[in-house]
Amino acid sequence: MRTYIPLLGRILLGLIFVMSGINKITGFEGTQQYMASKGMPATAILLVGAIIMEVLGGLSVILGYRGRLGAAALVLFLIPATLIFHTNFAEQTQMIMFLKNLSIMGGLLLVVAHGTGPYSITEQPKEAVRT
């Protein structure tokens, strides 16, 4: 069981980023308008960067291809995204989104610290895992 749990965790952790990136592509104009409403400049360039970061970072974590690097990049991406878009604590939904992002950062930091584990493209577990 320990062999498959890291893979399942990586899939669940990375999936939110891949799906979010795809949703940004399909809703590009709406997302760009939302970013502008938060006072962000150069929204088209930043949005393309966000899409690339989310899709590639999410796939990196899921596949375990340079997973530590992908996880670290996603943490760095989440810090400003969280502080810009989810700090209106008067709205319960924004408080939940803020805490969700903190939780995701925690999971990503575990990947940074411990690697991606078995069934990864470029990383192997630190210790042999018995099934």
What are the pLDDT digits (tens) for 7-38?
Answer: 999 999 999 999 999 999 999 999 999 999 99
Largest CA distance in the chain: 52
pLDDT, tens only, 89-112: 999 999 999 999 999 999 999 999
Q: Is 64 helix (H, G, I), strand (E, B) or coil?
A: coil
In a domain, 46, yes or no: yes
In a domain, 78, yes or no: yes
Domain of residue 22, residue span: 5-114
In a domain, 105, yes or no: yes
In a domain, 16, yes or no: yes
In a domain, 124, yes or no: no
Global confidence as pTM: 0.89
In a domain, 92, yes or no: yes
> What integer pLDDT is reported at residue 81 of this predicted model?
95
Helix (H) or strand (E) holding 84: helix 67-85
Q: How many CB atoms lie within 10 A of CB 111?
A: 27
Residue 123 pLDDT greater than 70, yes or no? no
Q: For residue 65, which phi and psi values (nearest 5 degrees)?
A: -90, 110
In a domain, 121, yes or no: no
Residue 125 pLDDT greater than 90, yes or no? no
In a domain, 17, yes or no: yes
HSE of 91, CA atoms in CB hemisphere, 13 A = 8
Q: For residue 115, which phi and psi values (nearest 5 degrees)?
A: 85, -175
> What integer pLDDT is reported at residue 60 of this predicted model?
98
> What integer pLDDT is reported at residue 122 of this predicted model?
83
Give how many domains the chain has, as a whole number: 1
